[in-house]
Amino acid sequence: MCMMSPSCSSITRINLIHLLLSTSFLCISLFLVYKCAVSTDGSRLYVTNRSNHKLLTLSVDGTVLSSLEDPALLNPIGVHVSEAGQLLVCGEGSNNLVQVDSERGMVTLASEENGLHYPYSVYYSERTSRLIVAQNSKNILVIKTK
């Protein structure tokens, strides 16, 4: 069996996600999967639980390693792990984009002041140093980073 890593086949990832979705029916308040992303080393799965305003970190065996619930991050929906391992999360209800890490906690990268309106998904391009944020309004916001 292939451990969860960037080199796994897409079928393995789909099977793992299907397994997690099956588990969600057993404990819907904890494991309601909206979107997910895999850490660069394949050791963690980040899951957004939009309805309960949580970002869950799971190990490859499905154990909950942490649960982030913060009033500054409402309806977390889109999640992305950059090539450098940065964890980015869209707060659809809070109209923000945050970076989460164990050292600095949660840092807001963009908000309504930057033109975000119901951010839905995010991608960071290492090549162009740009954050690309899709919004529920069918608009895409591109933010140049330093």
How does pLDDT run across 94-130, given as a tens digit for each residue? 999 999 998 888 999 999 998 899 999 999 999 999 9
Comparing 90 with 103, the larger pLDDT belongs to 90
Q: For the structural domain made of 10-144, what CATH number should be given?
A: 2.130.10.10
How does pLDDT run across 3-25, given as a tens digit for each residue? 444 443 333 333 444 444 444 33
Provide the pLDDT for residue 63.
92
Q: Name residue 107's amino acid.
A: V
- SS3 sequence, the chain? CCCCCCCCCHHHHHHHHHHHHHHHCCCHHHHCCCEEEECCCCCEEEEEECCCCEEEEEECCCCEEEEECCCCCCCEEEEEECCCCCEEEEECCCCEEEEEECCCEEEEEECHHHCCCCEEEEEEECCCCEEEEEECCCCEEEEECC
Provide the pLDDT for residue 32.
67
Q: Where are the domains of the chain?
A: 10-144
Give CA angle at 52 (68, 39), nearest 5°: 45
Q: Name residue 99's amino acid.
A: Q
Comparing 102 with 26, the larger pLDDT belongs to 102
Provide the pLDDT for residue 33.
75
For residues 49 and 55, the answer to whether their CB atoms sit within 8 Å is yes
